[in-house]
Amino acid sequence: MNALERHRKLTAIWASEPGFRGWFSTVNHNDLGRMFLVTSFFFFIIGGLLAMLIRVQLATPHSAFAGPEIYNQIFTMHGTIMMFLFAIPTFEGLAIYLLPKILGTRDLAFPRLTAYGFWCYAFGGTMMLTAMVFGIAPDGGWFMYPPLTGAIHSPGINTDFWLIGITFVEISAIAAAVEITVSILKFRAPGMSLDKMPIFAWYALITALMILTGFPPLILGSILLEVERAFGFPFFQVELGGDSLLWQHLFWLFGHPEVYIIFLPAAGVISTVLPVMCRTTLLGYGWIVASAVALAFLSFGLWVHHMFTTGIPHMGLAFFSAASTLVAVPTGVQIFAWIGTMWKGRPELRLPMLHLLGFFFTFVIGGLTGVMVAVVPFDWQAHDTAFITAHLHYVLFGGFVFPIFAGVYYWLPHVTGRKRFFHLGEFAFALVFLGFHVTFLAMHWVGLLGQRRRISTYAPEDGWTAINLISSVGSFVLAIGIGMILIDVVLHALTATRGRRNPWGAGTLEWAMMTPAPAYNFASLPHVTGREPLTLLPDLATALARGEGYLGEPRHGWRETLTVDIASGKPDMHVLYPANTRLPILMSAVTGVFFVSLLLKFYWTIPVAVVGVAYLAWRWAWVLGRTDDPQVRPVGHGVELPDAAATDRPPGWWGSVFLLTANATFFGSLLFGFAFLWTIAPGWPPPRWFAASPVWLGAGIIGAVLSPVSMRLAIRTNRRGGGPVPGVVLSLAGTAALGLTCAAMMLGTPPPAEHAYNATLFVLGSYGLFHATLAMLMTVFLAARVLRGFTSAVRRAEFAIVGLWIDYACITGVLILLAGHLPTLLS
């Protein structure tokens, strides 16, 4: 068949349903990436409007614009929306849209998960907007410190909206992070070994791993605070053995990596766009990869620099001051590598380049003030003043917004297939650049003069009036500039003329397809031999369209792709994707019912929602697979690959590994919280200890050993062609025993509302019980699959996945039982 016929056949297979009905059932990364980006920029506008309200309020002393009750909601929502509903989802949208293209493949690892993540974001964001519209938005500042946000001092539903709504949105981030990690590691074009990956993929991989390990502490903290508010479990109440500092540690364990999670994708954009703007290649690719890895890890060792004024001893502070200064080094390596790239090449002042220049100027200033506040005595003056507000806007706007604008203008021709007609962009950039610095530069000074953050107004005698007024004027200029950029983008999408395929002359794979991108990305998958495949083979696009790559012949109506070995890029599995489905949006809606029930305290709908999610998850997994052994399939160029179900490490296994990584971080944070309260919180020891029992402990450990061992036996039996059901049933019994002992621990703890020790043990027990139940559900699923013929000695993938979850439940279960029983048994 020729290229056009191939295109038609592939489009018929891969396209989403037409019209807006397609939004609800799409699992295509093109659609979902665009949906993420449109939604995130919608929230950017809302956050921006809130910012304008802030500046209206602060323009004059004794402002009559808004009282503190409303103003507290305005600035809390500004920060919350920008951090959670704009920045992270923009990364998600960009990664979802771009990664399959630059990696030379058809879609991400788990298309339905992409859709589920989007709808959780959309529904969670709607919850937050609803709170705002009804005037019951969170008002404790975007980091929501207890005891201010505890039940006594924030009795209203406002705080609950934050704790529950943001947790709902974070499901989206975790889902995207799992997906991005597995996609980058496994779903690449043949031949694309790790060292031939485009630099953006490295940044996205590192960011995704940071999300998996950085978000769980916040999720834990939010759950603990919500449980404290709803049920009186005193995690953060010092009178009952809790500690308000625990929240700060958990929050900032998330909060500091969060800002690098925001910066790194933008750095990925810079590393991609800048060399193209300079007609050369990136200087120091390996150094940049190493710097990004260094930055990611170092960022997890900085969190206490947000707590320099809490009374932590100087040596403790010094560790974090040292680490906070050190983190500027990998950042500096990247910045100078970029400048070196500019010197290496012939930079041209095209529109994306303007925004990159905006980045250099703004982010470097932000980084320099950051180094200043890393010095503890200076921070003791600057903390909680407008100096910090200025610093954070310099690094976030400079380090994220400018690069993203550069990326928007760079990839706009790709998304729309059009050439720029109106030239609003340059003027808009000037307004944004000018407006930003007029708003925020003098803010440093007024902070040093003593203006605190988060005050709703000030007095004329303070002497801050002039700077605040100038700042507010600047903010309106900034808003106009941003508005012009958005209008420019919309105009471009609607009116510009058709452009040629690779207007920038770039060498990465996303430009080797027709623009706008077809639903299937590439008609056939390329074999990659270098970092700039399109530069090496300028005719690549036409060759792929003619079916000369892998998987060039659409067959059986299948949505096909292949995976590769992580390091070498050798093809190793053939993967069939599911088709359009409403399962993700349905699942997200039922998840939403769960969260809304918690929020409104409709406790009788919670079990309904939980059962609903479990049922939908069962169906989600059940619709995959087949009842006969698949053949090894040819994928082109003489390569034949096994079906993913006939391997030991299918994509679902990798997805589980990374989801369990996030889960393990959550569990680790819980153990940390327990240890922290025990050793640091003032109100210990508790009035009474848990009545430990060697019998229950022993039974639990036996169950926790029996279960994974039996499952391994079942796997081995299955591989040899025998019947795995006895092993599976035995494993189920072991997990059940473990679950029972965790339940016993929950029932045996003294009243949780009495002391933080009781509350923590109760939560630990419930975590163990939850995971034991989850593992049991998966085991029952597996047994059903075996009995219905979906598994065989060849089709063994599902055993591996369930085995992972059993191992996890049992390891954590043992640790939980030890944490509960051992201290009392030992003393």
Partner 1 sequence: MLAGAALILTLVIVLVSLSFRRGDSADTKADGDGVRQVRVWIVGLGLVFPMTVLAALLAYGLFIGERLLPRAADDVARVGAEGRLSAWTFTYEDAPGRRTEGMLHIPAGRPVDVAITTVDVIHSFWVPRLAGKLDAIPGRVNVLRIEADAPGRYEGVSAEFSGVGYDGFTFTVTAHDPSEWDAFLRGNPE
Partner 2 sequence: MKDVIRMLIAPLAWLGSFSAVYGLHGLLCGHWIGGAVSDVPLARTLLIGAYGLAMLIQLTLLVALYHPRIGAPPGLVRFVSRATGWVGLVATGWSLFPVVVTTYCS
Q: Residues in the site for partner 2, rule: CB under 8 A? A: 185, 194-195, 285-287, 289-290, 293-294, 296-298, 300-301, 304, 313-316, 318-319, 321-323, 326, 330, 566-567, 675, 679-680
For partner 1, the closer of residues 375 and 818 by Cβ is 375
**Which of positions 209-238 make contact with partner 1 (CB under 8 A)?**
237-238
Partner in contact with 316, chosen from partner 2, partner 1, none, beta carbon below 5 to 8 Å by kind: partner 2
In angstroms, the Cα distances linking 502 to 270, 490, 496, 537 are 18, 21, 16, 13
Shortest Cβ 677–partner 2 spacing (Å): 11
Partner in contact with 334, chosen from partner 1, partner 2, none, beta carbon below 5 to 8 Å by kind: partner 1
Helices 756-787 & 651-680 angle (0-180, nearest 10): 170
Partner in contact with 68, chosen from partner 2, partner 1, none, beta carbon below 5 to 8 Å by kind: partner 1
Neighbours of 576 (CB within 10 A): 18
Q: What's the start-to-end Cα distance of the chain, in Å?
A: 78
346 binds partner 1 (CB under 8 A): yes
Per DSSP, helices labelled H in 26-67 are 29-58
Shortest Cβ 224–partner 1 spacing (Å): 16
- The two three-digit tokens of residue 34, written as one number: 């665009």
For partner 2, the closer of residues 665 and 707 by Cβ is 665
Shortest Cβ 435–partner 1 spacing (Å): 20
For partner 2, the closer of residues 294 and 365 by Cβ is 294
The full DSSP string for 250-289 is: HHHHHHHHHHHHHHHHHHHHHHHHHHHHTTS--TTHHHHH
Q: With contact defined as beta carbons under 8 Å apart, do 148 and 162 qualify?
A: no
Partner in contact with 194, chosen from partner 1, partner 2, none, beta carbon below 5 to 8 Å by kind: partner 2
Partner in contact with 812, chosen from partner 1, partner 2, none, beta carbon below 5 to 8 Å by kind: none
CA-closest candidate to residue 125, choices 90, 168, 70, 88: 168
Q: With contact defined as beta carbons under 8 Å apart, do 394 and 366 qualify?
A: yes
Q: What is the CA radius of gyration of the chain?
A: 27
Q: Binding residue for partner 1 (CB under 8 A) from 23, 65, 147, 630?
A: 147
Partner in contact with 342, chosen from partner 1, partner 2, none, beta carbon below 5 to 8 Å by kind: partner 1
Partner in contact with 12, chosen from partner 1, partner 2, none, beta carbon below 5 to 8 Å by kind: none
Q: Binding residue for partner 1 (CB under 8 A) from 140, 417, 571, 700?
A: 140
159 binds partner 1 (CB under 8 A): no
Q: Cα separation of 159 and 244, whole Å?
A: 16
Q: Cα separation of 166 and 169, whole Å?
A: 5
Stretch that binds partner 1, among 39-47, 626-634, 678-686, 802-810 (CB under 8 A): 678-686
Neighbours of 360 (CB within 10 A): 17
**Which of positions 56-75 make contact with partner 1 (CB under 8 A)?**
68-69, 72
Shortest Cβ 139–partner 1 spacing (Å): 7
Shortest Cβ 648–partner 2 spacing (Å): 13
Stretch that binds partner 1, among 5-13, 134-142, 481-489, 586-594 (CB under 8 A): 134-142
Partner in contact with 139, chosen from partner 2, partner 1, none, beta carbon below 5 to 8 Å by kind: partner 1
Give residue 105's region: left, alpha or beta (phi > 0; psi -120 to 50). Answer: beta
Q: Binding residue for partner 1 (CB under 8 A) from 26, 114, 299, 385?
A: 385
**Which of positions 308-327 make contact with partner 1 (CB under 8 A)?**
309-311, 314, 317-318, 321-322, 325-326
Phi, psi of 572 (to 5 degrees): -135, -20
Cα torsion through 286, 290, 295, 296, rounded to 10: 110
Shortest Cβ 286–partner 2 spacing (Å): 4
Residues in the interface with partner 1 (CB under 8 A) total: 85
**Which of positions 241-280 make contact with partner 1 (CB under 8 A)?**
243-245, 278-280
For partner 2, the closer of residues 301 and 450 by Cβ is 301
Shortest Cβ 292–partner 1 spacing (Å): 13
Shortest Cβ 448–partner 1 spacing (Å): 9
Phi, psi of 423 (to 5 degrees): -110, 50
Partner in contact with 245, chosen from partner 2, partner 1, none, beta carbon below 5 to 8 Å by kind: partner 1
Neighbours of 228 (CB within 10 A): 26
Q: Cα separation of 796 and 645, whole Å?
A: 6
145 binds partner 1 (CB under 8 A): yes
684 binds partner 1 (CB under 8 A): no
Shortest Cβ 148–partner 1 spacing (Å): 4
For partner 2, the closer of residues 198 and 435 by Cβ is 198
- The two three-digit tokens of residue 359, written as one number: 């980045």
- The two three-digit tokens of residue 378, written as one number: 């200076």
342 binds partner 1 (CB under 8 A): yes
- The two three-digit tokens of residue 510, written as one number: 């996303």
685 binds partner 1 (CB under 8 A): no
Shortest Cβ 75–partner 1 spacing (Å): 9
For partner 1, the closer of residues 380 and 770 by Cβ is 380
297 binds partner 1 (CB under 8 A): no
CA-closest candidate to residue 323, choices 337, 341, 336, 305: 305
376 binds partner 1 (CB under 8 A): yes
For partner 2, the closer of residues 176 and 296 by Cβ is 296
DSSP β-bridge partners for residue 571: 564
Partner in contact with 185, chosen from partner 2, partner 1, none, beta carbon below 5 to 8 Å by kind: partner 2
Partner in contact with 281, chosen from partner 1, partner 2, none, beta carbon below 5 to 8 Å by kind: partner 1
For partner 2, the closer of residues 77 and 294 by Cβ is 294
Q: Cα separation of 780 and 793, whole Å?
A: 19
Distant-in-sequence, close-in-space partners of 404: CB < 8 Å, separation ≥ 6:
90, 94, 266, 269
Shortest Cβ 539–partner 1 spacing (Å): 19
**Which of positions 701-760 make contact with partner 1 (CB under 8 A)?**
none
- The two three-digit tokens of residue 565, written as one number: 């070995």
In angstroms, the Cα distances linking 270 to 171, 330, 411 are 28, 15, 12
Stretch that binds partner 1, among 96-104, 144-152, 424-432, 657-665 (CB under 8 A): 144-152
Half-sphere exposure of 145 (CA within 13 A, CB side): 9
Phi, psi of 243 (to 5 degrees): -160, 125
Q: With contact defined as beta carbons under 8 Å apart, do 738 and 707 qualify?
A: yes
Q: Cα separation of 353 and 76, whole Å?
A: 33
- The two three-digit tokens of residue 334, written as one number: 């990247």
CA-closest candidate to residue 108, choices 38, 180, 41: 180
Partner in contact with 294, chosen from partner 1, partner 2, none, beta carbon below 5 to 8 Å by kind: partner 2
Q: 3-state class of 65 per DSSP?
A: coil
Cα torsion through 265, 271, 276, 277, rounded to 10: 90
- Which amino acid does the sequence have at 176? A
For partner 1, the closer of residues 441 and 657 by Cβ is 441
For partner 1, the closer of residues 611 and 680 by Cβ is 680
